[in-house]
Structure 1
Amino acid sequence: MINKTLRILIADDQHFQRLNIEKILNQLGYFSIAPVHSFDEIETLTCCPSKPFDLLIISTALVADLEIDLEAFCRDNPLIHHALIYDSRQAQLPPMPEPLPPVVQVSLSGTPGSESLKQLMAMINPPPQRHGLQVLSWLRELSRGRVS
């Protein structure tokens, strides 16, 4: 079952890109999404102690004119659990090592599409393991007619 309480921050200077990513995430069942259009907004949302973001999806174009090591910022910020860093060209999600490190950072050479986001969310929020049907012993005995 999808954890609908995951907090996701989308940061892109292009409104259409933020909207497109949010729409894809909504289709995947994620609705706790905060879209922002500047790095200042990210800093504001992640500087003071508050509930952390489970995922930051950010365009490198947002910090192109700033002297910021985006990977280090995401890795060192305790209020960002996972990060997807991308630029404006199209790309696919690269395979990830298993087991996943505590902070997943993925860099794409393109805007994340539906399949890339689906794969990423499956890594961050894996479906629960299904266990086989467990039959209670007294129920098994009842079905065999041995219970008095």
Structure 2
Amino acid sequence: MPNKSLRILIADAQHFNRLRIERLFNQLGYFRVAPVQSLDELLALVEYGCEPLDLVLVNGAMVMGALDLFSFLDDNPQVHHGFIFNERQAPLSPVAGKVRLSRAALPDLASITQLMSAVDCRLPFVGTVISVR
């Protein structure tokens, strides 16, 4: 059962993309989703929000070098988990940590489900475990 109190922020310049991603979260039982269309809105909500965000999803193409988005999400105490999609510099293998990267133009239901298994501690883990020696 999903944790319905998780706070999720979606940042994408295209309204259709924001709507599509929000519906994927709704299918999984997450309804506290805030969509934003610009980098300025994203920065304002993250920096001045009264509660931390559990997950921030950002279209990497929206930033276009204006900000080191990975470092911003990784270093910000107001963000518990980050996911940057449509990121051309994403590694081919998964990276463990607070921020995940994806080359996919849009996340699909399978990638959102796998992402939420890491974000939502109530869900069983979906995916593979990678150990570094």
Using the alignment, how far apart are the partners of 2:13 and 2:94 within structure 1? 27
Residue by residue, what CA displacement relative to the aligned partner does 1:118-142 show, whole Å, maximum 9, x if unpaired? 010011113368xxxxxxxxxxxxx
Q: Percent identity?
A: 43
| Residues 86 and 49 (structure 1), Cα distance of their counterparts in 2 relative to 1, 3 Å cut | closer
| Residues 61 and 23 (structure 1), Cα distance of their counterparts in 2 relative to 1, 3 Å cut | same
Structure 2 runs not aligned, ≥5 long: 125-133
Following superposition of structure 1 onto structure 2, how do residues 82-97 of structure 1 map, counting pairs within 5 Å?
A: 82-87=81-86, 95=94, 97=96
The answer on 1:106 being equivalent to 2:100 is: yes
The answer on 1:121 being equivalent to 2:120 is: no
Q: Which runs of 4+ in 1 moved over 4 A?
A: 93-97
Residue by residue, what CA displacement relative to the aligned partner does 1:27-72 show, whole Å, maximum 9, x if unpaired? 00000000000010011111225101100000012111x4210101
Give the aligned partner of residue 50 of structure 2: 50
Amino acid of the residue matched to residue 118 of structure 2?
A: M
Using the alignment, how far apart are the partners of 2:19 and 2:49 within structure 1? 27
| Residues 117 and 108 (structure 1), Cα distance of their counterparts in 2 relative to 1, 3 Å cut | same
Q: TM-score, normalised by structure 1?
A: 0.74
Secondary structure class of the residue paired with 2:50: coil
Amino acid of the residue matched to residue 56 of structure 2?
A: L
Q: TM-score, normalised by structure 2?
A: 0.81
Give the aligned partner of residue 59 of structure 1: 59
The answer on 1:68 being equivalent to 2:71 is: no
Using the alignment, how far apart are the partners of 1:88 and 1:95 within structure 2? 13
Structure 1 runs not aligned, ≥5 long: 130-148
User: Could you say what the CA RMSD is over the residues aligned between the two structures, in angstroms?
Assistant: 2.1
Using the alignment, how far apart are the partners of 1:8 and 1:81 within structure 2? 10
Using the alignment, how far apart are the partners of 1:12 and 1:50 within structure 2? 22
Secondary structure class of the residue paired with 1:5: coil
CA contact (8 A) 1:10 1:58 kept: yes
Using the alignment, how far apart are the partners of 1:94 and 1:4 within structure 2? 30
